[in-house]
Structure 1
Amino acid sequence: MMVDEQVRGQPGVPPRLNEPAPDFRADTTAGERSLADYRGRWLVLFSHSADFTPVCTSEFLAFARAQDRFDALGADLLGLSVDSEFAHIAWMQSIREKFGVAVRFPIIADARMEVARAYGMIHDGASDRSAVRATFVIDPDGVLRSMHYYPMPNGRSIDEILRLLQALQTSDRHGVATPADWQPGEPVIVPPPRTSEAAGERLADSGYTVTDWYFAKTLIVE
Structure 2
Amino acid sequence: MEETVTLPRLNEPAPDFVAKTTAGELRLSDLKGKWVVLFSHPADFTPVCSTEFLAFARRQKEFEELGVQLVGLSIDSIYSHLAWLKDLEEMSGISINFPVIADLDMKVSKLYGMIHPAASETAAVRAVFIIDPNGILRGMLYYPLTTGRNIDEILRFIRALQFTDRTGLNTPADWQPGDPAIVKPPATLDEVKADEARQAEYTEYKRWYLRLKKAE
TM-score normalised over the length of structure 2: 0.96
Equivalent residue for 1:220? 215
Equivalent residue for 1:15? 8
Equivalent residue for 1:207? 201
| 1:93 counterpart (86, 89, 98) | 86
Q: CA deviation at 1:196?
A: 1.2
User: How far apart, CA to CA, are the structure 1 residues paired with 2:215 and 2:109?
Assistant: 38
TM-score normalised over the length of structure 1: 0.93
Equivalent residue for 2:159? 166
Q: Which digits, 9 at most, give the CA deviation of each residue in 1:113-151, with x for residues without a partner? A: 000000000000000011110000001111111111101
SS in 1 for 2:175: coil
Q: Which digits, 9 at most, give the CA deviation of each residue in 1:48-98, with x for residues without a partner? A: 000000000000000000100000001110000010111111111101101
Matched, 1:55 2:48: yes
Q: CA deviation at 1:174?
A: 0.8
Equivalent residue for 2:124? 131
Taking the TM superposition and a 5 Å limit, the aligned residue runs for 1:106-117 are 106-117=99-110
* Two-structure CA RMSD over aligned residues (Å): 1.0
Equivalent residue for 2:139? 146
Equivalent residue for 2:17? 24
* Paired letter, 1:88: H
SS in 1 for 2:191: helix
* Paired letter, 2:215: I
Equivalent residue for 1:118? 111
Equivalent residue for 2:182? 189
Matched, 1:80 2:73: yes
User: How far apart, CA to CA, are the structure 2 residues paired with 1:203 and 1:155?
Assistant: 45
SS in 2 for 1:177: coil
* Paired letter, 1:119: Y
User: How far apart, CA to CA, are the structure 1 residues paired with 2:197 and 2:97?
Assistant: 52
Report which stretch shifted further, 132-141 or 200-209.
200-209
* Paired letter, 1:207: E
Q: CA deviation at 1:12?
A: 3.4
User: How far apart, CA to CA, are the structure 2 residues paired with 1:201 and 1:215?
Assistant: 15
Q: CA deviation at 1:11?
A: 5.4
Q: Which digits, 9 at most, give the CA deviation of each residue in 1:145-169, with x for residues without a partner? A: 1111101111010100000000000
* Structure 1: 5+ residue stretches without partners: 1-9
User: How far apart, CA to CA, are the structure 2 residues paired with 1:122 and 1:134?
Assistant: 10
Report which stretch shifted further, 71-80 or 197-206.
197-206
Equivalent residue for 2:32? 39
User: How far apart, CA to CA, are the structure 1 residues paired with 2:120 and 2:211?
Assistant: 45
* Paired letter, 2:211: A
SS in 1 for 2:133: coil
Contact 1:49 1:152 in 2 (8 A): yes
User: How far apart, CA to CA, are the structure 2 residues paired with 1:182 and 1:113?
Assistant: 36
Count of aligned pairs: 212
Q: CA deviation at 1:13?
A: 2.4
Contact 1:17 1:146 in 2 (8 A): yes
